[in-house]
Amino acid sequence: MNDLTRNIVLWVVIAIVLLAVFSNFGQRAATPDKLVYSQFLTEVRSGGIRTATFKGDMIVGERASGGPYVTHNPETSNTELIGLARQAARDL
């Protein structure tokens, strides 16, 4: 192997190592807390939930403390929760 090829291989290896190191220090998205549905309802009532988005049978959003959460919505038409969400929106 000549000197030029050896230098190119060396720099490629250095670049790969640096990319691997820096990718580990990159900002990662916070993993959402998995809430039990009853805990979610309790936090809604106490003002601990900032946002709630219904996505099929899942509810995702942000807590008042800033962290993301996810919970399973076992009810198909939850009028109690919808009423709580409307009341929370009026209180803002």
**pLDDT per position as a tens digit, 34-88:** 999 889 989 988 989 999 888 888 899 999 888 899 998 886 565 555 556 556 5
Residue 85's pLDDT is: 59
Q: Which two tokens stand for residue 2?
A: 């000549």
Residue 88's pLDDT is: 57
Q: Which two tokens stand for residue 65?
A: 């403390």
For the domain spanning 29-91, the CATH number is: 3.30.720.210
State pTM to two decimals. 0.53
Residue 27's pLDDT is: 66
- Give buried/exposed letters for 61-73 (b at 16+ CB in 10 A, else e): bbbeeeeebebeb
- Give CA–CA dist 81/91, Å, rounded: 15
- Give CA–CA dist 16/23, Å, rounded: 11
Q: Are 12 and 31 in contact (CB under 8 A)?
A: no
